[in-house]
Structure 1
Amino acid sequence: MAKLDEIAELLTEEIQEFENSVSRLEELQAFLMNYKIKPDTTDIDFILKRYNDHQKKVIDDHHKLMGNVVYYIKKSLTFPKWAIKLFWGLLVIIFLVLGFSFYRVSRIPEIRQEAYGQGEENAIGHFRAFFEASPEASELYQKWREPQSKK
């Protein structure tokens, strides 16, 4: 029976501790039911404000970078530098060739006059040599040149 008394005593102690725990929980529940919760968002507001400032700074940086990109794109050349230099070189060569051609074309009347004079001198020299080599042909030519009287 001693064992039973001992077990009963332990059960009594356990029940009393359980009742104490229940009463503490009831007090805690009553306290929590009457406790007023004040929403305090100052920390969250501070964090959100910092994040917002950071985002504004990032957006401003992106706008500056995009402005620079647009500026350099507008300023950039669509053709490589070597192609532009080649184009200008060819343009200068074309103008030189055209200028030389115009110069040569403008000299054509002078060249013709000079060639006509040389041809005339060559022909006269040829006929003179021919008439000197054959005096009979020279006499016939002189007769032919004289105006014939009309009969």
Structure 2
Amino acid sequence: MAKLDEIAELLTEEINGFEKSIGRLEKAHENLKGLPLRPDTSELNALLKEYGNNQKNNIEEQQRLMERILHKVERSVLLPSWALKLSWGLLICVLLVLGYSLYQVSRISKKEEAAYLKGRDDAIEHYGTFLDDSPEAKELYQKWLEDNGQK
């Protein structure tokens, strides 16, 4: 029983100490209630407003860039690289053939003149050889030239 009395006394002392601590906390609470303590959030508000403006500007800039990209994508025509290479190859071939054809056409008059001169020279040589081989034909030809007034 003595032990129970000791424990009861200790508990009583602890309860009294606890009540005193509560009384001090209440006084401190009353003192704090009376203090005009107001948190200053103006700097925090300014920072949040600036951050919001920056975010708004960033979003607007991204939207403008996205619209430009979409506009360019809509206007673009997608072709495979092999089709582009084939098109360029065909264009080069067509230009080469056209250039060669124009070159050949421009040389036609020179070829005709050369062929005409060669044919004339061959004909003169052939008739000259014929007239040299047959003197009778040469005499008849000379007579015919005199009759026609040519010499």
TM-score, L = length of structure 2: 0.50
TM-score, L = length of structure 1: 0.50
